[in-house]
Structures are given as structure tokens and as C-alpha cells.
Chain A
Amino acid sequence: MRLVVPLQGVAQGRGGLLLGSLIPCALFCFLQLYLKRRRSPSDPPPPSTSSSNQPGMTRHSSLSNLLSRGPLRISSLATSIAKPDDSPYYMGLDKASEDPYHRIANPDGVIQLGLSENRLCFDLIEKWTSENLRDWVMGREGGDLSISGIATYQPSDGTMKLKMAMAGFMSRVIGRDVSYEPSQMVLTAGVTPAIETLCFCLADHGNAFLVPTPYYPSFDRDMKWRTGVELIPVHCRSKDNFVLSISALDQAFNQTRKRETKIRGILLSNPANPVGNLLSRKMLEALLKFAEEKNIHIISDEIFAGSIYGEKEFVSIAEVVDSEDFDKNRVHIVYGLSKDLFLPGVRVGMIYSFNENVLAAARKLTRFSSVSAPTQRLLVSMLSDARFIVEYIQTNKKRIRDMRDLFVAGLEELGIKCSDSRSSLYCWADMTNLIPSYGEKGELELWEKLLNVGKINLTPGSACHCIEPGWFRCCFTTLDKEDVSVVMERIRKVVGSCTSCG
């Protein structure tokens, strides 16, 4: 429109009418030509084989349609997810899986210490499955083997049999007289969908959760990707052994409120990932009080509840809520089998809630991520074998403790101290003195060197949003005893070269 105004002067002057009509036409033609050239076949096509940028498309009648027709579009969410992930957490995982270490077959491969798997008792699982799995896929209904029991549609939130078996397992894992109510459980295909589903139930797009740092790197994906929720870090520091304080929580809450972002809840990990510390009963009570004051939810991720091997007792938030007069409607627990009972590729997660409305909504959402029926049957069988489960839990704790002691001792010989914790599958190692410069950059330089030169994949603290640079998470439960010295030797090589130039 603005172009027309100066042309009025021309139009009103000599030859104005002619020029007044010629110039816009000429401009339009030049615009068409320019756009045509931009869409020439020589333009790089979208990732897949396509011919969507065809010149023929410019033959559309309206100009606005012409400008809006572009390459084939995917959603904004998909566009951001499709980008190559340059975060060290995922890059490290990829590199280790492309060139995995094997003591005999690939001794120069990358040793994976960034993946939270507990393989220490895999032999027990192998033994049990080979001795106990007969005719497990088909059930005996009326004497004949039949598949209809597991073939047909099951309740999407898991069978009652499995829920009861899970309740029994969780009680054994805690080792005290704590009981879990199967009707308050919603089962999902892994813990990842459990967390996401809970998030969908408690928060709208643009709302936020407060999360103590350092935290599990995948929370950024699992809780934010599709829900559109924000995670607000509540920084914990080494001087407090990275234990959360109510004052830090309060500060973060108020600051977020100023931005007019609605906070829906607190996301806790207890035992914590990556630090491994436990929340005391007193702290849990304080958190419940805080949540009541602010009228928000608490999600407690207790996936490492079975990986406790020290003197300190694990207290589930379920116990605290039960014993005191707290509002149960705001408390939700997430649990899963993958850390405490290593069954490869078996995806079973759980939402445990006291809130009927949350359970009702979550149940309906499980249709998008239900546990496979054969898997449910297998687990019922395994979890009901009390003798095996008790032996497994005890042996598991002992082996984690022994491996951790070995690993921590090895690091100490290198002058690397770990935070004091007797739970979870990690050492939270302080390499502050070994990073070339104090900051995230220095930390990532060390991480890269450890990965590419040392061929070990650790998780840098920055991937966990740790406010203090130089801390690294090392998962030691994928190792055999003999591998520990290999790890230490490789760290020594890298660290030695760092201290010489640091």
C-alpha cells in the first residue's frame, strides 16, 4: 500500500496514469521472478527424497497462497525434537553405544558409565528365567493351553494381579511394614511415560515444576517435550551436600511467581539422581507443609528405592503422608522396576497416587503406553516368587555396595572424592580440581577428553543442571569388578595430562 502513495504524485503528473499502472505491474512481475528463482530445483530438498518445491506450485492464483506454500511442514514440536541433540548426556550415550567396550571382544571401546543400568545381578535373573519359564505365554484355562488370556484387551492401566505383585515387591524393597494399595496404582510402559502422564494430569502448557538440582538429565525431555511444562531449577550446593533447603525452594517459588508463571508442583527424586542422597523424614514433612502452604503438588520419583545399601533408612513420602495429617491429594509417587530388578527391555513403570481424580485421569491416559500382556504375566510369576525376590534384593544391595566401595576407592587413589551417599547406582565425583578452567566450559572440556581420549562416558554435572562446575556422575553398576581398574587407568591417563597443563 505504501508504494501506491508516492506513485500518486507520479500519477497526477505527466504520463501519470501510464506510469501509475506500469510500475506496480513491473514490481509484481519482478516479485514473481524473484520467488520463482528462490524455488528453483537446485534448492536443497527437505531431508527425504521429495519434489515438494516444484515450480508448478507457483501457478496458484492468489499471491498470499503463493507466499504461504512452502516445503512440507511438520509441527514446531517435531522440528525442535528432530534437531541433532548436542547435549553431552545424549552425545555420550550415543558414542558409547556405537563403540561399546568389551573386555575381550573390544577392549579399546568406550566404557559406558552414563547409562543407569544395574547389571550386577543379571546372572540371578538369567538363572530364574531359564528354570521357571515354562508355558508362560499361554495360560491353562480349563486344562488346555490358551492364548486368549493375554491376547485380548487388558485393562490399560495394568492387571490387578500385577499391581498386587508390585505392591508386594515395593514393600519388600523398603524392608519395613509399609503397605501399598494396588487400587492406587496406574501401570505404564516404563517410568518415562509415568512421569509424563502425571505431568499431563497436574499441569497445563506453560505451567512449571520446581526441581532441585542437580537432576536426572532426561527430565528435560520427559517432562517438557509434549506437555509444554517448564522446569525451574532449585539449586543445591556442595556445602550442603546438595541437600534441598526450604528457603531455596521458597526463593525459587517467589521468583517464578513474579514472572506470572503458575507453579504446579515440586518434582523430587528420592533417592536422588545423580547425587544419591536420601530425604529425611523431617525434610519430607517440611516439604509437605510447604506444598500445602502454596497449594501445589509433590511428585516423588522413588525409582531407586531398592538401591539402598547403607545404614540410613529410606523413607517413602507415602509413609510420611500416611502417618501425619497431611493432605494426601497432592502427593504422587513414581516408581518402576528397571533399576531395582534388572529385566532387560521390560518396561514397567507406575504412578502411585492418593488422589482419585488424578488416578482416574491417569488411567485413561495409559491407553497410550500400556504394559504388554506377556510382560505382565512374566512379572507376576517372578514377583510372586518370594524366596527369589528376597534373595535378589539382598544380593543386589550387597553387590552394589561392594562395587561402589571398589569404585570409590579407585577414584580416591586418583585424588577424586565422591559425595557421601549409600544409595542409587552412582558416584557423584568431585573433579573440580581437574577441570582446566572453573566453569561449564572447563567441565565440558574435561568431559570431552574423558570421552574421546580416555574412552569413558561420564555424565557431566552441567547436563544435570548442577550450579557448581566440575562434578561428574558415574554409574558403576554396568561394570564387572575387573573393569574398575581399567576405568581408573583411563581416568589417570586423562587426568594426568590435564593436571600437567591445568
Chain B
Amino acid sequence: MAIEIEQPRVGLSKVAVSKTHGEDSPYFAGWKAYDENPYHETSNQSGVIQMGLAENQVSFDLLEKYLEEHSEASSWGKGAPGFRENALFQDYHGLKSFRQAMANFMEQIRGGRAKFDPDRIVLTAGATAANELLTFILADPGDALLIPTPYYPGFDRDLRWRTGVNIVPIHCDSSNNFQITPEAMEAAYQSAESMNLKVRGILITNPSNPLGATIQRSALEQILDFAVNKNIHLVSDEIYSGSTFSSSEFISIAEILETRGYKDAERVHIVYSLSKDLGLPGFRVGTIYSYNDQVVTTARRMSSFTLISSQTQHLLACMLSNKEFSENYIKTNRERLSKRYDMIIKGLKKAGIECLKGNAGLFCWMNLSPLLEKPTRESELALWKVILNEVKLNISPGSSCHCSEPGWFRVCFANMSEQTLEIALERIHKFMEQRKRN
């Protein structure tokens, strides 16, 4: 549906008029449908249930309990601890106490199997900004980053829009559970070369969005070796690391580096955020952790465009350095997410739908390819429209994640109550029954 915009007499930039923001894609169109008719447990039971938003609402009560019992975290005023000190501390280094708390939290999530130095942490207003910042730092306009498919739709915008950098996909498919292989990486590299694009790095998301699965140790080793051989950077977006259902199943690239004695570490950079694990996307808290001094220095200076407010830092520093809270939170959050995951998998199975075996994240990767008229992107989008408009569920089609196999969908399960999830599963069940009958 083309919208006629009268061109203003005074011009705008290419960035302003470009479509790279991607908000015309189905990923975002579904959100619009939800906004227009949102489901509500009591007031709008026939509305669209939002299953396209990876938000974690299962552990709010733990945060609320902490804040109720620890008013010093949210106190901010005369006499409040640290107020005067924080008042004088303005620059982009961020509060030392907060960086220390983040480093500790990241170590806890990894079961103490990797160490983090607070002085290597650069703070940004969300992981979105962290990823964009790293792209500005590691690649020139026109260069390329290799990213395994399927990947988070937001990358198309976050990594390319203002940076002018290209994404070249590393194709993964269901034949081996979408794992990244050396052959696929090499093929992507060659593909970039044939387009005269200089590859500057490979960006992985671990645990993966949208797959909802961690990357295996052997694959991580191969990815790091590949980066070393090609002399490129490796960015590991680990924002779902605290949302792995069991602590032992997540292996961070930091652990791989540790076992290698930090050889080749200068090419590795980790992105983290509190938006998914702590369910606080509204706080806008992201970090870049880099083993490369130049990258740390540059990222820190560039972070002046995307700073976290000091009082947010102070609040979170208090919360995360409370070991009792953080340990309990990590453990309980994992258990609840795992329970939700089991619930949705069972429900989908009952409806005759299979999912990729997952072990992390706020979503599952659902296989509806048997329902497609033809194994094409168009069929997938047609099915997606039906699910959105008739079943009234907003789920994310695999094509918006650049999945090479049509028919896969990402379904979020942590941004709603259990009751709402039951309703969603019932709707899917009904839908599948109807299709069987037809």
C-alpha cells in the first residue's frame, strides 16, 4: 500500500529517505496489527495476541520484591548513598560500581567459567546501539559482516542503516538443525569476495535469535578459527545468555578464549544487555565487552551518542551487586523460562506442530513447512497473514529472519501470562483441527 508523501521543497538525507529501517517488512507489519487490536484478558478477548515481541515478563515479581526491600537502590536525593559522588561523575566511562556489577553478573551467568574486567566494559543505551557502534568501529561503509541465518530482523537496520555496511548471510538449514558449518562460512566469505565486498567480521548471536538454541562448543571453536584464518573480527551477541534453561548448556566465546589462554582475543567482542535476561528493555542498558584496547577506547568515545543515565546505572549497580538477589534471579528466571518452553512445546505438539529443539531464549522456532502450499516465501507469507488475521496471533515469519527454508516461524512465549499462552495454544489447536478437516 503506497503512501503518497508530498516531497518537501527542502531536501532530506539519503539516510532519512532510505527504507533500510525495514519498518515496511512483515516483522513490523504484524506489530501494527497488534497495536490496532491488542488482546486483553478481560476487555478484548478476541484481540491479536502478541507473540512477535521477545520480551521477558516472567520474573517481574523478583525485581519488584528487590525494589520494595531495598529502597536505597531507588533513592536519589540528599543523603542518598552515592548521590553526591554520582552527581560529579559525568563522563562516558560510566559508574565504576555499575561496570563492576555488570562484570560480576556476566561472570555469574557463565557459572564463573570466564572472568570479565570492568574496565573493558563500554556502556550503551541498549544492545541495539552496541551492535551499531561495533559496526561503525570494525567496518568501513561498503564493507561486509557475515551473519548466520536465520537472524534477528533488526540487524538489517541496526548494522546497515547509518553505517553503510553490508550483511552477507551464512546460510544454515534444518538438515543439521541450523548449525553453522565451516563450509557455510567459507561459502559466505567467497560470496562476499565475488561481490567485491571486504569482509571485516562475523557476527553470531549465542544463544541464537530466532532459533532459541545455544551454539555448541565445537562450532564456536570453528567460528573462532575461521575468524583467525581470515584475520577478521568476531562479534558474539550474548544477550540471551542468562535465558538459557540450564546454566551448563551455554558456552560463551569468553570461555573458549579462556581455554586458549586469550590467544587471538583481540578480535573478539561481546555484546550484552539487560533487556532480555532482566526483562528491562525500557531501561536501555547495553554493553560492549572487548578484548581489544583500541576498540574499547573508540567505543567509549563514541558512546557519547548513546549514554545510560547515571541514576539508572546506580539503581542497577545496587541490584546486581546484591549477590543474593542476582543468584536467585538467574536460577529462578531460568526455571520459569524452561517451564514456559515445555508448556508451549507440548501444546504445539498436541496440535501436530514440531519445533526445533531449543534450550534458551524467549521464543521457539516452529516448523509449519508441512502447511505450505508450495515451499516458497510467498506461501509462507500467505500462511503468516492467515495466522495474523484469522487465528489472531502475531508470530514472526522466517523470511523476515532471512531463513533460507520457507515455513519456519519464531513464536515468543515470555511476554504474556500463562493464561494468555493457554489461549494462544488453544487457538493454534483449533486452527490445525480446521485445516485437517478441510
Least CB distance from B420 to A in Å reads 14
A372 touches B283 (CB 8 A): yes
Q: Which of B8, B87, B281, B293 contacts A329 (CB 8 A)?
A: B8
* Residue from B13, B53, B128, B302 with most neighbouring chain A CB atoms (10 Å): B13
Instruction: Tell me if B195 is interfacial: C-beta within 8 Å of chain A.
Output: no
CA–CA, A77 and B89, complex, Å? 28
Give residues 193-252 of B contacting A (CB, 8 Å): 200, 231, 233
Instruction: Tell me if A40 is interfacial: C-beta within 8 Å of chain B.
Output: no
Q: Which of A129, A138, A196, A364 contacts B76 (CB 8 A)?
A: A129
Q: Which of A77, A192, A368, A374 contacts B304 (CB 8 A)?
A: A192
Instruction: Tell me if B21 is interfacial: C-beta within 8 Å of chain A.
Output: yes
* Residue from A202, A205, A358, A374 with most neighbouring chain B CB atoms (10 Å): A374
Residues of B close to A193: CB separation below 8 A? 305-306
B-binding segment of A140-148, A173-181, A314-322 = A140-148
Instruction: Tell me if B311 is interfacial: C-beta within 8 Å of chain A.
Output: yes
Instruction: Tell me if A6 is interfacial: C-beta within 8 Å of chain B.
Output: no
Instruction: Tell me if A18 is interfacial: C-beta within 8 Å of chain B.
Output: no
A130 touches B77 (CB 8 A): yes
Instruction: Tell me if A369 is interfacial: C-beta within 8 Å of chain B.
Output: yes
Least CB distance from B329 to A in Å reads 13
Q: Which of B11, B291, B307, B315 contacts A347 (CB 8 A)?
A: B307
Known contacts being A131-B77, A193-B305, is A74 close to B137, with CB within 8 Å?
Answer: yes
Q: Which of A46, A148, A346, A357 contacts B60 (CB 8 A)?
A: A148
A-B CB pair tally, cutoff 8 Å: 256
Give residues 291-336 of B contacting A (CB, 8 Å): 291-295, 297-298, 301-302, 304-313, 315
Give residues 79-138 of B contacting A (CB, 8 Å): 79-80, 83, 86-91, 125-126, 128-129, 132, 136-138
CA–CA, A148 and B158, complex, Å? 26
Residues of B close to A205: CB separation below 8 A? 141
CA–CA, A368 and B182, complex, Å? 33
A-binding segment of B63-71, B170-178, B344-352, B389-397 = B63-71
Q: Which residue of A is nearest B275, CB measured?
A: A153
Q: Which of B21, B132, B294 contacts A47 (CB 8 A)?
A: B294
Q: Which residue of A is nearest B279, CB measured?
A: A151
Instruction: Tell me if B435 is interfacial: C-beta within 8 Å of chain A.
Output: no
* Residue from A78, A221, A222, A365 with most neighbouring chain B CB atoms (10 Å): A78
Residues of A close to B13: CB separation below 8 A? 200-204, 207, 264
Least CB distance from A392 to B in Å reads 15
The tally of residues in A whose CB lies under 8 Å from a CB in B reads 87
Q: Which residues does A use to contact B, with CB under 8 Å?
A: 46-52, 57, 69-70, 72-78, 81-82, 97, 100, 115, 117, 122, 126-133, 136-138, 145-148, 150-154, 189-190, 192-193, 196, 200-205, 207, 221-222, 225-226, 264, 295-297, 327, 329-330, 344-347, 355, 357-358, 361, 364-365, 367-375, 378
A-B contact pairs, 26 of them (CB 8 A): A47-B292, A48-B292, A48-B294, A78-B136, A78-B137, A81-B298, A115-B90, A130-B80, A148-B60, A151-B283, A152-B55, A153-B281, A192-B305, A193-B305, A200-B13, A202-B16, A222-B304, A296-B10, A297-B10, A344-B89, A344-B310, A355-B10, A361-B16, A364-B21, A368-B132, A370-B125
Q: Which residues does B use to contact A, with CB under 8 Å?
A: 5, 8-17, 21, 23, 53, 55, 57, 60, 63-64, 67-68, 74-80, 83, 86-91, 125-126, 128-129, 132, 136-141, 143, 158, 162, 200, 231, 233, 262-267, 279-285, 291-295, 297-298, 301-302, 304-313, 315
